[in-house]
Amino acid sequence: MKFKGAINKMGWIKNIIFIIVLLTQIIPAQRAAASASSTAENEILVFGASAAYRTVSIAAKVAGNVEYMPFAEGDYIKSGEVVLRVEKTDYELQVALARTQVERAKIALDQANLEFSRLNELVKSNSASVQMKDNALYAKLSAQANLATAVASLKIAENMLNNAEICAPMNGFVSVKHREPGDYADKAKPVYDIVDLDIIKANLKVPELLISEIKKGDKINISVDVYPDETFSGEIYELSPVGDPLTHFFKVTALIKNTEHKLKAGMFLKALIKTDKK
């Protein structure tokens, strides 16, 4: 009996916890829905948060000790700037070795060509067998293949040497710096995260009662608490076709020009959407 009573008690506790969790999600959603409203016949006031237009992770293309990594978090990087360099000594030696192998393969091919030409003439004068000529031909073809392999190996070594230095693929701010000079950088592991803030995404939550009034291309004005006397203009470019089944909110995204980089990712936004509703 005590065991059954304990089970029933646990069941009640689980139910109470579930109700509390449910209320913590529904009540804020209801408050947000109440604040999201039509402020005029063709304007809708909603709220959301800002996000970077693009985020790029820059990874090392070859492994090695970091020799050069000059930018700190918050620094602005221009496309094409060198952001990472790992120690090149091993890769330079690999290139030197590959070049030597190419030269050796060229010498071997020259020797094979000479031997084939010599035996070809001897066969014409019946001074050598056809089998000897065929063997020389196979040696020549093998030398050609060896040279092609050596050239390909050289290109791979040169490519690895070039990849010891990484350039920024776009303009942006360093949001995360994963390594420091002297650290070991693994191949394909991120060393920087860069965010593009020239354009800001405004991720907004719109109640289902208002979502039908909004369409792609609608103009929008954004305000933030840190700049109380300024507004930032943009337009809606994305409306999610699926809402949250619990809160009945739909995600709407707008793009805001941010050439002066006043807006940062993660800011709280107030958005006034201008619709065509009459």
DSSP line for 189-255: -EEEEEEEEEEEEEEEEEEHHHHTT--TT-EEEEEETTEEEEEEEEEEEEE-S---TTT-EEEEEEE
Please check the confidence at residue 16 and state whether its pLDDT lies above 80: no
Q: Retrieve residue 238's tokens.
A: 């994305």
What's 170's DSSP letter? S
Q: How many CA atoms lie within 13 A of 141 on its CB side?
A: 6
Confidence (pLDDT) at 95: 98
Confidence (pLDDT) at 125: 87
Its pTM stands at 0.75
Give the Cα separation of 217 and 235 in Å (integer): 5
Residues facing 272 on adjacent strands = 45, 221
Please check the confidence at residue 9 and state whether its pLDDT lies above 60: no
- Cα–chain-centroid distance for residue 224? 28
Q: Which helix (H) or strand (E) holds 176?
A: strand 172-177
**Residue 15 CB neighbour total at 10 angstroms:** 10
Confidence (pLDDT) at 37: 54
Q: What is the mean pLDDT of residues 66-75?
A: 97
pLDDT, tens digit (0-9, with 9 covering 90-100), for 189-222 = 999 999 999 999 999 999 999 999 999 999 999 9
Q: What percent of the chain has pLDDT over 70?
A: 85
Please check the confidence at residue 1 and state whether its pLDDT lies above 80: no
Lowest mean pLDDT among 20-34, 61-75, 87-101, 240-254: 20-34
pLDDT, tens digit (0-9, with 9 covering 90-100), for 216-259 = 999 999 999 999 999 999 999 999 999 999 999 999 999 999 99
Q: How many CA atoms lie within 13 A of 181 on its CB side?
A: 8
**Residue 249 CB neighbour total at 10 angstroms:** 21
Confidence (pLDDT) at 69: 97
* Mean of the per-residue pLDDT values of the chain: 88
Which domains occur in the chain, in start order? 2-54+194-274 (2.40.30.170), 89-162 (1.10.287)
Q: Which of the two residues, 36 and 110, has the higher pLDDT score?
A: 110
pLDDT, tens digit (0-9, with 9 covering 90-100), for 77-102 = 999 999 999 999 999 999 999 999 99
Quickly state the pLDDT bin for 12 (edges 50, 70, 90). Answer: low
Identify whether the C-beta of residue 233 lies closer than 8 Å to the C-beta of residue 274: no
Lowest mean pLDDT among 31-35, 61-65, 154-158: 31-35
Give the Cα separation of 158 and 266 in Å (integer): 42
Confidence (pLDDT) at 126: 86
- Residue 33 phi/psi, 5-degree rounding, is -65, -35
- Residue 274 phi/psi, 5-degree rounding, is -95, 120
